[in-house]
Amino acid sequence: MATPHIQSAIPKKRYQYGEFTITLLTDIQSEDSPDYLYLMAAVREGNAQPEVYITCETIMQDGARTYQVRVLSDQQEHIISTQPQWGNEKAFCEFALEGISQMFELSDEQPTPIG
């Protein structure tokens, strides 16, 4: 799996979403390029490692800073959107949770904040 190489990060929010625990990480220190603004990791119950990461990365596009959202998993690694609004934590969380819902067919579930 293409995994982020995280040196340190702060877990800011956690959700229970079906059989997954979803963690939003912020203040991410990594030697990866581009820089991670946010990272969401989805861990299935009973597993130690995330099945999928959804990243929000700061990039330069047409001379301006913007943000791209990328999915990293065993099956895929690709950019799913590039928009300035992904720099907003709430917008990114909603978008990433919707993506997780689609990937794991959680249409009957609702993400529940933990803690």
Residue 1's pLDDT band, with cuts at 50, 70 and 90, is low
Cα(87)–Cα(13) distance, integer angstroms? 16
Query: What pTM did the predictor assign?
Result: 0.92
Cα(11)–Cα(23) distance, integer angstroms? 6
pLDDT, residue 71, reads 95
Q: How far is CA 94 from the centre of its chain?
A: 10
Q: Which SS3 state, helix, strand or coil, does residue 59 take?
A: strand
Please enumerate in sequence order all residues whose Cβ is within 8 A of that of 7, keeping only pairs 6 or more positions apart, or say none. Answer: 29, 30, 31
pLDDT, residue 38, reads 98
For tokens 């609702």, what's the residue? 110
Give 28-48 pLDDT, tens digit per residue.
999 888 899 999 999 999 999
Average pLDDT of every residue of the chain? 94
